Amino acid sequence: MPKVRTQDLIEQFQLELISGAEGVHRPITTSDLSRPGIEMAGYFAYYPAERIQLLGKTELSFFERLHPAEKKIRMEKLCTDITPGIIVSRGLDVPQELIEASERHSVPVMRSTMKTTRLSSRLTNFLESKLAPTTAVHGVLVDVYGVGVLITGKSGVGKSETALELVKRGHRLVADDCVEIRQEDEGLLVGNAPELIEHLLEIRGLGIINMMTLFGAGAVRTHKRISLVVDLELWDPNKQYDRLGLEEEKVRIIDTEVTKLTIPVRPGRNLAVIIEVAAMNFRLKRMGMNAAEEFSARLTDAIEDGDHDYE
């Protein structure tokens, strides 16, 4: 199934459909836009026909200078079988040659009252969001002190219970059980809940509960940038866990590396508090304050001072 069709642009940006209504269900495969100025001059060797074509004042004022026969040829070449749509900005008059060509080839021609640059920017942002690479992860996504924390771990380890405690402590739930993740830009991962389970949390023994109904609108949010992954695992006495935090582990999601913490779970550990502190510590590190490195530096200084005392 195509992620975006021309019909979605018409609805999202309240575009006026002028002609080519048969093609409104054409798929849009790229977020790149084209302003076919050089094509108006007759050069179609590298015409990116698979893009949304955007005609502004510059392109149409040049088009008006062409000979009537040239006008028909240019518009025929502009409307191809793979062109998802042509948008005229600024509420400008749509050339009759374009309307006729679009009807013959079923290419939707739309009109917007927005200025060309603003429309181009908004279209690009919308398409990049919709066409971003996506994946789904089994886990819980929570907004803790402004940090998007993705809690992962095996089924039954306590992810949802930890999320419930975090919400009770004033933080916000984004998604439980299944987190849909899209890479909106290089190094930018955004997670949200599938529409079917939005705002819902499953607690074994209680069943499914609606967090927004129980705790109010301030306890949930629709999406959040993922900055930190906390992996919960049952305590393994034979495994050495990081006690200083000098080495930062990473996990790759789509094409982005995210900081990962492995937290061992056993009775008596307050996971919600640990995740709160992990989020605050993560923010401190981004501000340039690293407690582990400071401790390491102090330890090195103390050892060096001790060596000097023995000399």
Considering the candidates 243, 252, 266, 308, report the single residue annotated as catalytic. 243
Answer yes or no: is 70 a known binding residue.
Answer: no
- Residue 265, helix vs strand vs coil: strand
Is residue 3 part of the annotated active site? The answer reads no
Considering the candidates 51, 159, 172, 224, report the single residue annotated as catalytic. 159
Is residue 266 part of the annotated active site? The answer reads no
Distance of alpha carbon 208 from alpha carbon 135, whole angstroms: 24
Considering the candidates 72, 77, 177, 285, report the single residue annotated as catalytic. 177
Residue at 83: amino acid letter: T
Answer yes or no: is 158 a known binding residue.
Answer: yes
Rg (alpha carbons) of the chain, rounded to whole number: 28
Answer yes or no: is 159 a known binding residue.
Answer: yes
Distance of alpha carbon 110 from alpha carbon 83, whole angstroms: 13
Residue 224, Cα to own-chain centre: how many angstroms?
9
Answer yes or no: is 153 a known binding residue.
Answer: yes
Residue at 47: amino acid letter: Y
Answer yes or no: is 157 a known binding residue.
Answer: yes
Residue at 291: amino acid letter: A
CB atoms within 10 A of CB 96: 12
Answer yes or no: is 165 a known binding residue.
Answer: no
Is residue 182 part of the annotated active site? The answer reads no
Is residue 285 part of the annotated active site? The answer reads no
Considering the candidates 138, 169, 204, 298, report the single residue annotated as catalytic. 138
Distance of alpha carbon 242 from alpha carbon 278, whole angstroms: 13
Answer yes or no: is 121 a known binding residue.
Answer: no
Which residues line the annotated binding site for Mg(2+)? 160, 202
Which residues line the annotated binding site? 153-160, 202
Residues forming the active site: 138, 159, 177, 243
Which residues line the annotated binding site for ATP? 153-160
